[in-house]
Structures are given as structure tokens and as C-alpha cells.
Chains A and B, each alone.
Chain A
Amino acid sequence: MDRQRRNVIAWIGKGLAALGGAAGLLLVGRFVRPYPIRDRARELDLGPTSELPQGSVRHLAEPDVYVIHAAGGIYAVSGRCTHLGCSVQHRPEGFDCPCHGARFDLEGRPISGPATRPLRWLRLDRVAARLVLLLDRTVPTGTMASRPEKRT
């Protein structure tokens, strides 16, 4: 009887210890998980649209984004390879990634190599004849710059 009771108490103790440990782990996990602080204004004024005539490409080094004025319109495509994050290099026929040989066409769709997803497109707004790039907004491939209906 006494022994049984001791057993029970021991089990309870172990259970509590396990619970405490699990809770501790959760808390540690919460602590370790990064909390990025986002700038409020993550948009970039690229200047008048007229400065980007059709057929031109502009590379913004800081966010590593290519702004391209093709026949279909103006769009912004990220320079980060979707395979493993290297910076792709612009070529006349598209983008090449030097790290593992992935190739993309000018609209960022993978042509060959290990990448399977297209390069990210970023939202580009025309605001009063100027181009504004929104760095945190990904848009589907093929979404050209347009006048925003409602700026968010």
C-alpha cells in the first residue's frame, strides 16, 4: 500500500517534471524564433515612368530587384534565385544563376536547371506618372505595373 502510494507519487512527480520541461521548451522555442522588425515604409519611389523607356532594364542593387519595361508593360522581378537564394545575373535572354546553373526567362519563369519555382514578382504601382515599388508584396507572375485602385 505504502509502496503503491509512493509509486503514484513518483509518477505524478515525473509527470509534472515532464510538463514543466515541455513548457520550458515551448518558451525557449518562442524565444529563439526570430521576430523580424519590419520597416513601415518598405516602398521605393523609382522616379518618373518616362525615365524607363520601353526595352530598358534597371537593376536596383539594394533590394536586388530588376525593373523591366518590356512590350507588355513594366514589371519588377526579384533577383533572388528560388532554388537556393543566390543572386541571379541578367543576360539578354533572361536570368542565369551562377550558383547551380538555374536559368530563367526574362519574366522569371524557370527554363532549365534545378529551380522549379519562378522568380518572385514584386508589386509595382504607377502613382502619378511615377513608379513605386512595394518590396513586401509579391504578385503573381504576369502582373504588370498598374495604377493602384486602393493603396494599402
Chain B
Amino acid sequence: MAKGRKRRGKKGGGAKAPADRASAPGATVESPPPDDDEATGPGVSEAEDAEEEETAPPEERELTPEPAPPDEPPPSPRTSNGLSGFLRHLHPPRIRRRSAGPGATLGLGVATLVAVAVATVSGILLALYYVPSVAGAHASIQDLISVVPLGRFLRNLHRWSAHAAVALCVLHLLRTLLWGAYRASHARVWLVGVGLLILVLATSFSGYLLPWDQDAYWTVTVGTSLASYVPLVGDALQRLLLGGPEIGQATLTRFYFLHVLALPTLGALLLVLHLFRLRRAGGLARPPGAAGPGEALVPASPLLTSRELWLGAGLVVAMVLAALLVDARLGPLPDLVRPDNPPKAPWFLVGLQEMVGYNAAWGGFAFPALLLGLLALGPWLDGGRACDGAPAPGRGRRLLLLALLVLLTVAVVVAVRWWGDARLGRASWLNPASITTILTLALALIGGSLASGPRAPARGLALQAAALGLLALLGLLTVVGWFWRGPDWALTFHPGPGRPEGSRLTAQGSWRDRSADVLQVTTPRGAVDRCPTCHRKPHRAIEGHPRPGQRGCTVCHGGQGRRLDMQAHAPLLGAGPDPFLTGKRIQARCARCHVPTDLAGAAELGRGFQQYLDAACTGCHQPGRLDEGLGPDLRRLGRRTVDELKDALLRPRESHAGATMWSLAWRFGKGGRDLDALLTALLAMSDPPQPYRASWARPTLRVDVDCTSCHQEVVGQRTAGRPHRCTLLRETRALRCRGCHSDPSSQVKPAPGRECPQVRAARPLCAVCHLRGREDGAAP
């Protein structure tokens, strides 16, 4: 609704320009309603076509002599054409002077429209590079950020304009609500506007999944699970959204479809309808009051449209600046078994997330339905006959709304702080969220009748108070959820969002256009590594290993090889799927293929594991133990920076709520080599080779990785006697080393000539292809 409504205030002649282009089809639809614009005016029904200049307004009876507006253009001979003709049709040719004032609409409709237009244009451009597949989405956005010229800017612009659109949309709704501009003649404008609000939110949400990062994955998991709480059709709805039993490629395809095709198309149609209805309803609501100077009819064209133009231009500049200065966040690839802790929904859903934390059906269905129903039916519940379009007069009303807000704040604090979390038992329909909602409605009803007066009927007041109160409640809970939800959903002050929205752009060179000379290699595991773009010096090879330069740097150093911006170099992640490692910490990566203890050439790692044993970590942290495990499983450390890990060792109780571990400062002091080695060992443990996560704790460490990830020469070529071909199938295959070589991990040693050790059996060939189901996973 937001968009349309603002328009009513002042149609953004100029500001709108991009939007118009975006909704070009609308133009044709919109132009037809030339007449009637003034129908609601005081009898001013000029039939003149808006598209023509408003020369000779037949009746300007109210036109007071006073400021013969200097801006009133002389009848211009131009005929309308194209865009300008469309723009003129958006407003009636002549409007009240007061309707054009900044206070009439606050310009929020135009502003929303501009934000949506910017998001549309940037989104269309982004679609050129985005790859809607689970395997390719995240990579394509990394490319966008670091390689595509201006890609990062456009992505930032898209995100910030989308956020602005949501925020402005809600503000536009609030303005219209409080100004009473939803009533009577504008009822249908309002109704379509509520539909637009839903569409804006849905488009934002569907866009949220597209990067396929950690935030996206878990937010959408939660969001689609919420759908299952809709009565009757819930499960079907959830499956419809997911495209299957769980989130996956089908989900991404569906969300992509929704985000770039279905919702924008529907939105464009509704937007046209919104503007059309607005024009039919007489344009911007006119403030009531006696005919005064402000009631004079003036041409809309230069006065209103130029103001809108300036507003729109200013907004565009602001969004461009934001896009230049602040990066939109791109999380790491999703960890499918470990959501962020604390998790944070996109900001406009945090209020609902908070409600959902009490009761999913309440926050996911009942409350949104209540709020949207109240909004959609507002004009009819209100029953007012006049659409005044200015804040209703009277101190009573202002007092009422203020009192409501204050009471509500107190209620929320009390409910959440002193009752909510202490209770936090089972989900119940009586919870802080629902109680405060009921309280809001009751207060609104009572207050409405108390504060009503001859010019402010009780129903209208109650409706406004109720709608405002529910939105304020959502806002308050958003604040609670954003700042006070710490790890494990604990109610502690947790300043700032758990996820920083992005880094400030301080790293030098991050805006350099490198697209012309990107050099990349493919790592053994198939990842893209672009480090050679800058790092061209030959690298010392490790004996027996493939030459580093040919395989990329990330094989050992980790990090995000796709990205070329400086952010990718920051050793932010100490643990997790792709930590960027330097110095001796690199040895943590050796454990991906080798048995980590006592590995020649990885003394630091061995030392770290010795510390791990000496410090008696295993006394409490017993991976895989049910009864005696006093501490968390060290294989599942989560994404922590090295500094956080260090903190957790030296000051465990300060850094972790509820931790019972004692500080290891008695052993390590404030740091030192032993501690560094232990950290390296912890990194190695938390990044075990995928197939063996489960058996990591056993004394006999066995690592089963695909040997060919490094030793590619072996495949099909390298022989230990005969060529690796299946004599039965008569075809060449990528053979599996495990088919012939038993337990390569313990045997692989740097050896000259890349001899592959220990052939398992005399006739290995059958086992090469006919592996039993899970052999490489579990069998000794």
C-alpha cells in the first residue's frame, strides 16, 4: 500500500521517473482516467484532459487573488507525449495548494516508489549474473562481488533500496493511517495498498534465499516451516513453497521464480491499480477545513511534480551513497546442521520471530492475519464518511496515541522480561505476545471511546489506535529480538546484531576493477581459486605434493578463493568450512588428508595434539560420549574466530554464558607457543575430512579422502602394473584408489616418484567398481 498511498500526497513527478519506466505497461492503463480527478473536489469537475495543460480551468472559483502563483505555468502549447504525459496523468491537473505541502503526505508514497524502482532496475541487472542453482548461487554472488565490474555496487544498491522500500512502505502506511486518508473515497486505494505491502514483504523475503548462504538457508527454513502452521492448508502450503519435503534446489527455483517473475509482475499490476484508484478517488486526499488560501486550486504540474522530483532525486543519491559505503552481507555457505546462534531473521521479520519464539501458530499465522485483516478492512471498520487527509484535530487523539504507546512499551517490557522468559515453558496461546496484543486492542477500544469527540468519531479513533498499536508492538518486539536475544535464545543484552551487515569499505584496493586480468585455477576439489591473480611468485613445493601454484593457494591456506576483495583475506574465520590460515596454522589443513599426530613436517600440529592430551581436554570433552561428556563436542566448534577460541580457553566463563569450564591460563598464561599449537590442533579437529566426522574420536584415526583430489595424475594413467581399466566393462573409468590401496592415509608419505603404496590385493579390479554400499565410510 505504501507506494500508492504516498502518491496521493504528492505524486512524484520526477522522482517517479524510474519507477514509471519500470511499470511502463501501467502507463497505458493509467492514462485513461482523465476525468473525474476532481470529482471529489468541491464540485470542481473539470472535464479537461489532464494530459493537456490545465489551461483555462473552467472553474477556479476559489482561486483567491493572493499569490498568483508565480510557478503557475502559462498555458504551454506542448502536447503530452510519452513519459511526461504519463506523469501528468498521475495527478489531477489542478490540486489544492495544501495537498502539495510537505506535511500533507510527507512524500512517502513517492519515496517508496523510487526505492522500488531502484530495486527493480538494479535487480534486472543482477539477474544477468545470478545463477539460480544450489551449486552455483553462492559462487555467482562471490563473482559478482569481487570480479564483475560494479557488481558489488549494484548488489549493495539492490539490497539497500529493497530495505528502503520495506521501511518506506510501512511508513507510508502509517502516515495514511494517522492522517485518516484511507477512508471513504480512498478505501479501495488503501485496500490495494495493503496488498502492495504484502507483495513488497514477500518479494523481500523471497529474495533473501537467493544467495544461498547461511542466513538465507536457515531463515527460509524457519519461514517455510511457519507456513505449516496455517490452519487447514498449512502442510500443503509448505510443500508448495519448498517444492518438496525439504529445502533444496526445488525451493531455490521456486523462490527465484517468485522473486524475479511472479511477485514483481503482480506488484506492477497492483501498483498501476493503486495509482489508478488514487486518481479516480480524486488524487491526494485534501485536508479539510474552511476555504482559505490553502484551499486554492493550483496546477499540479510544476508545483507538486517538481517537489516530487527533488525528493526522488535526493533519495536516489542517498541510496547510491549507501551502496558505495556499506557492503551488503554475504554469509558463508550454509551449514546444514548448525544454524547461527543467535539466529537473526531479516530485520523486518525479527518482531515476528520474537512472537514465534513463544508460539509458532501465533506469530506465524494468527498475529499477521489479525493485523492484515484489521488493515485491509480498516476503511469499512472505520465507517467514516469523509476522507480528510490530514491528522484529525484534537488533543485527545494525540494524547490517546501517545498514552497507548507508553503503556504498550511498559507492557512489553514487563511481559517479556519478568514473565515471558521465566515462563518459557511450553508453547501456549497465553504468552507475552498474545497478551500484549489483546491489551493493545482493549486499550484502543477504550481509549477510542474516551477520546472521541464531534470531529473524531470513536470507531475511527479506535481503529487507528489499534492498528498503530499492533504495528508498534511489532516494532517493540523487533527491538527486543534484535538487541536482547543472545546465544541460545537467552534474554541478555546482546548489542548489535549477531551478524554484522557488512564491512565498511576500508580495505584499500577493494574497488579496483580486476575483471580484466583474473587468473584462476581449479583446486583438486573443484573449487575456483583466484589467488594467482595477485600472488604470482612461485611457491615452495612440499615434497611429494603437487606443486602448489598449479593447484591454487586455498588447498593449504583455506579462505575464499573465489573472491578478490580484501575482505576475503581477513582471517575472520578460525573454524568452519573455509578458514583462512597463515603461518604454522596451515598445518591444521594437513589433517584433512593425513593422520594428524606425529606427522613428519607438521611439528606444530603434533605439538598441538600433545597439548590437547596433556591439558586433559578429553576429560570433559569426549566426542561422541553421552554420559560423561561434560563439555561440548570439540569437533563441532562452529564458526569461531581464532581469537574467540583463544578467549574460550583462557576466559571461558566470561566468554560463554553458563560455561563451567575453568580457565586454562594456569597452563598457558596469556598465550605462547603451546597455546598456539593447541589452537591449531583445535582447528584441525573442527575441520575433519567429511567422511570421517563420526569416527574422529577413535584412537586409530583413519582418514579416507579421495586421493585423486591431489594426485590427479593417478587416475586412469598411473599404473602399478597394469592400466586401471575394468576388463569386464571395457571402459576407462575414474578409478578409486581405495579399490586397490588399503588405508592410504597411514601410508602416504612424501615419496619420490609418487609411488602409490601398498596394493591391497592381487585382484583388486572388481572391488574398484563393485564397492559395497558404505564401504568407504565405515568398513575397516
B240 close to A87 (CB less than 8 A): no
A1 part of interface (Cβ distance < 8 Å): no
B48 part of interface (Cβ distance < 8 Å): no
Which of the 9-residue segments A10-18, A19-27, A96-104, A142-150 touches chain B? Answer: A96-104
B343 part of interface (Cβ distance < 8 Å): yes
B625 part of interface (Cβ distance < 8 Å): yes
Main secondary structure of the interface of B (DSSP, over half): loop
- Contact pick for A112, options B224, B240, B425, CB 8 Å: B425
A32 close to B773 (CB less than 8 A): no
B226 / chain A contacts, CB cutoff of 8 Å: 84
- Once bound together, how far apart are the Cα atoms of A44 and B778, in whole Å? 11
B427 / chain A contacts, CB cutoff of 8 Å: 83, 113-116
8 Å CB interface, B750-779 against A: 773-774, 778-779
B240 close to A101 (CB less than 8 A): no
Q: Contacts A79-B337, A85-B225 given: A98-B694 contact, CB under 8 Å?
A: no
Which of the 9-residue segments B196-204, B241-249, B536-544 touches chain A? Answer: B241-249
Name the distance in Å between B497's Cβ and chain A's nearest Cβ. 15
A60 part of interface (Cβ distance < 8 Å): yes
A98 close to B337 (CB less than 8 A): no
Chain B, 320-351, contact with A by CB distance < 8 Å: what is the 0/1 string? Answer: 00000000000000001111111100000000
User: Which partner residue on chain B sits nearest A81 by CB separation?
Assistant: B225
8 Å CB interface, A84-142 against B: 84-87, 89-92, 96, 98-101, 106, 110, 112-116
- Contact pick for A45, options B240, B336, B773, CB 8 Å: B773
A114 close to B359 (CB less than 8 A): yes
B489 close to A56 (CB less than 8 A): no
Q: Contacts A44-B774, A101-B357, A112-B424 given: A87-B338 contact, CB under 8 Å?
A: yes
Q: Contacts A100-B356, A101-B489 given: A113-B343 contact, CB under 8 Å?
A: no
B236 / chain A contacts, CB cutoff of 8 Å: 33
B518 part of interface (Cβ distance < 8 Å): no
- Once bound together, how far apart are the Cα atoms of A74 and B273, in whole Å? 62
- Once bound together, how far apart are the Cα atoms of A83 and B595, in whole Å? 40
A61 close to B337 (CB less than 8 A): yes
A58 close to B221 (CB less than 8 A): no
B222 close to A84 (CB less than 8 A): yes
B336 / chain A contacts, CB cutoff of 8 Å: 61, 64, 87
B626 part of interface (Cβ distance < 8 Å): yes
B625 close to A57 (CB less than 8 A): yes
B244 / chain A contacts, CB cutoff of 8 Å: 34, 36
A60 / chain B contacts, CB cutoff of 8 Å: 694
B225 close to A98 (CB less than 8 A): no
B242 close to A84 (CB less than 8 A): no
Chain A, 19-52, contact with B by CB distance < 8 Å: what is the 0/1 string? Answer: 0000000000000111010000000111100000
A69 / chain B contacts, CB cutoff of 8 Å: 626
A98 close to B356 (CB less than 8 A): no
User: Which partner residue on chain A sits nearest B219 by CB separation?
Assistant: A99
B340 / chain A contacts, CB cutoff of 8 Å: 98
- Once bound together, how far apart are the Cα atoms of A60 and B337, in whole Å? 10
B426 / chain A contacts, CB cutoff of 8 Å: 110, 112-114, 116
A92 close to B243 (CB less than 8 A): no
A68 part of interface (Cβ distance < 8 Å): yes
Which of the 9-residue segments B287-295, B520-528, B628-636 touches chain A? Answer: B628-636
B224 / chain A contacts, CB cutoff of 8 Å: 85
A34 close to B222 (CB less than 8 A): no
8 Å CB interface, B345-400 against A: 353, 356-360
- Contact pick for B339, options A61, A87, A113, CB 8 Å: A87
B693 part of interface (Cβ distance < 8 Å): yes
B517 / chain A contacts, CB cutoff of 8 Å: none
- Once bound together, how far apart are the Cα atoms of A57 and B221, in whole Å? 26
A91 close to B360 (CB less than 8 A): no
B424 close to A113 (CB less than 8 A): yes
- Once bound together, how far apart are the Cα atoms of A58 and B358, in whole Å? 31
Q: Contacts A34-B250, A46-B778 given: A92-B694 contact, CB under 8 Å?
A: no
A46 / chain B contacts, CB cutoff of 8 Å: 778
A91 close to B632 (CB less than 8 A): yes
Name the distance in Å between A106's Cβ and chain B's nearest Cβ. 7
User: Which partner residue on chain A sits nearest B353 by CB separation?
Assistant: A100
A84 close to B225 (CB less than 8 A): yes
A56 / chain B contacts, CB cutoff of 8 Å: 624-626
8 Å CB interface, B206-231 against A: 218, 221-222, 224-226
Name the distance in Å between B37's Cβ and chain A's nearest Cβ. 34
Name the distance in Å between A104's Cβ and chain B's nearest Cβ. 12
Q: Contacts A86-B343, A101-B424 given: A58-B624 contact, CB under 8 Å?
A: yes
A57 / chain B contacts, CB cutoff of 8 Å: 624-626, 629
User: Which partner residue on chain A sits nearest B363 by CB separation?
Assistant: A114
B614 part of interface (Cβ distance < 8 Å): no
- Once bound together, how far apart are the Cα atoms of A134 and B747, in whole Å? 36
Q: Contacts A86-B221, A116-B427 given: A98-B629 contact, CB under 8 Å?
A: no
Name the distance in Å between A5's Cβ and chain B's nearest Cβ. 34
User: Which partner residue on chain A sits nearest B697 by CB separation?
Assistant: A56
B489 / chain A contacts, CB cutoff of 8 Å: 98-101, 113
User: Which partner residue on chain B sits nearest A96 by CB separation?
Assistant: B488
B487 / chain A contacts, CB cutoff of 8 Å: 98
Name the distance in Å between B16's Cβ and chain A's nearest Cβ. 35
- Once bound together, how far apart are the Cα atoms of A79 and B246, in whole Å? 14
- Contact pick for B360, options A44, A84, A98, A110, CB 8 Å: A84
- Once bound together, how far apart are the Cα atoms of A56 and B239, in whole Å? 35
- Contact pick for B625, options A45, A55, A83, CB 8 Å: A55
- Contact pick for A33, options B240, B341, B630, B632, CB 8 Å: B240
- Once bound together, how far apart are the Cα atoms of A59 and B338, in whole Å? 12
Name the distance in Å between A121's Cβ and chain B's nearest Cβ. 16
Name the distance in Å between A1's Cβ and chain B's nearest Cβ. 37
Q: Contacts A61-B337, A114-B359 given: A92-B629 contact, CB under 8 Å?
A: yes
B632 / chain A contacts, CB cutoff of 8 Å: 91
- Once bound together, how far apart are the Cα atoms of A116 and B425, in whole Å? 10
- Once bound together, how far apart are the Cα atoms of A34 and B778, in whole Å? 34
B424 close to A99 (CB less than 8 A): no
User: Which partner residue on chain A sits nearest B632 by CB separation?
Assistant: A91
B342 / chain A contacts, CB cutoff of 8 Å: 98
A34 close to B240 (CB less than 8 A): yes
Pick from A55, A79, A92 the residue with the most CB of B within 10 Å.
A92
A36 close to B245 (CB less than 8 A): yes
- Once bound together, how far apart are the Cα atoms of A143 and B407, in whole Å? 51
Name the distance in Å between A58's Cβ and chain B's nearest Cβ. 5
Name the distance in Å between A112's Cβ and chain B's nearest Cβ. 5
User: Which partner residue on chain A sits nearest B248 by CB separation?
Assistant: A36
Name the distance in Å between A111's Cβ and chain B's nearest Cβ. 9
- Once bound together, how far apart are the Cα atoms of A117 and B424, in whole Å? 15
A113 / chain B contacts, CB cutoff of 8 Å: 357, 424, 426-427, 489
User: Which partner residue on chain B sits nearest A92 by CB separation?
Assistant: B629
User: Which partner residue on chain B sits nearest A44 by CB separation?
Assistant: B774
A98 / chain B contacts, CB cutoff of 8 Å: 339-343, 487-489
B773 close to A89 (CB less than 8 A): no
The 3 closest A-B pairs by CB, nearest first: A101-B489, A98-B341, A85-B225
Question: Could you list which residues of chain A lie within 8 angstroms of chain B, going by C-beta atoms?
Answer: 32-34, 36, 44-47, 55-61, 64, 68-70, 79, 83-87, 89-92, 96, 98-101, 106, 110, 112-116
The contact sample of 26 A-B pairs, CB cut-off 8 A, is A33-B236, A33-B240, A36-B245, A46-B778, A56-B625, A57-B626, A59-B693, A61-B337, A61-B693, A68-B626, A83-B225, A83-B427, A84-B222, A85-B222, A85-B224, A86-B222, A87-B337, A87-B338, A98-B343, A98-B489, A99-B222, A101-B424, A106-B626, A112-B425, A112-B426, A116-B426
Question: Could you list which residues of chain B lie within 8 angstroms of chain A, going by C-beta atoms?
Answer: 218, 221-222, 224-226, 236, 239-240, 242-245, 250, 336-343, 353, 356-360, 424-427, 487-490, 624-630, 632-633, 636, 693-694, 773-774, 778-779
Beyond the given A55-B628, A83-B360, A84-B356, could you list 18 further A-B residue pairs with CB under 8 A, ordered by the A residue number? A55-B626, A56-B626, A57-B625, A57-B626, A61-B337, A84-B221, A84-B360, A86-B222, A86-B343, A87-B338, A92-B630, A98-B341, A98-B488, A99-B218, A99-B339, A112-B425, A113-B424, A114-B356
